[in-house]
């Protein structure tokens, strides 16, 4: 997490090199705007440039998962519970042997972050393959933020990426 200065600097360096960094906000039910963090998550104080991701419940209402960290610094959110994934998380959905096991219990900001990373990758792939150009970090953030689905006001979870709308916005 970027409250550790060395991590912040590594992320900032990657973003400076135009690498999109998707970072889990963490699972401590911490308000990142809390004074205990001394402004480390206040973009007016410092900004690594990473996309910070919160976990939300698996529904259309975009309600923060009770364990997810939250605050004004959060950019995006995605499902943080009952996510199907390779491996033996939760209930087994399919077990086709060692290399073909899927479970339904991947959770937390650890599941939300790869969902957002997938949206970022698809948006970038579309830009490269259909438009013959690569989007920079700011363009990806702005596109996903403008086209995403907003949750309740002051929920501190950012927006949920809406990939179809994002793809249409960059055409």
**Digit-coded pLDDT (tens) for 128-141:** 999 999 999 999 99
Please give the structure tokens belonging to residue 43. Answer: 């973009």
Sketch the domain layout of the chain as residue ranges. 5-82+111-169
User: With bands split at pLDDT 50, 70 and 90, how would you rate the model's confidence at 90?
Assistant: confident
CATH number of 5-82+111-169: 3.40.50.200
What does pTM read for this prediction? 0.91
Query: What distance in Å separates the CA atoms of residue 128 and residue 136, rounded to the nearest whole number?
Result: 11
Query: What distance in Å separates the CA atoms of residue 84 and residue 64, rounded to the nearest whole number?
Result: 19
């Amino acid at each position: 997490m970027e409250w550790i200065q060395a991590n912040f600097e590594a992320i900032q360096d990657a973003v400076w090199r135009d690498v999109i960094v998707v970072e889990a906000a963490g699972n401590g039910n911490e308000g990142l705007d809390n004074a205990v963090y001394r402004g480390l998550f206040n973009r007016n104080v410092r900004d690594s440039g990473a996309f910070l991701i919160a976990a939300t419940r698996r529904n259309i209402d975009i309600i923060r998962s009770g364990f997810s960290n939250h605050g004004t610094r959060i950019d995006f959110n995605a499902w943080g519970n009952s996510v199907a994934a390779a491996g033996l998380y939760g209930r087994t959905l399919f077990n086709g042997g060692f290399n073909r096991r899927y479970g339904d219990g991947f959770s937390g900001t650890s599941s939300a972050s790869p969902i957002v990373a997938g949206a970022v990758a698809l948006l970038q792939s579309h830009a490269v393959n259909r438009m013959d150009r690569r989007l920079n970090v700011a363009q990806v953030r702005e596109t996903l933020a403008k086209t995403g689905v907003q949750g309740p006001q002051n929920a501190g979870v950012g927006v949920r990426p809406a990939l179809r709308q994002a793809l249409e916005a960059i055409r």
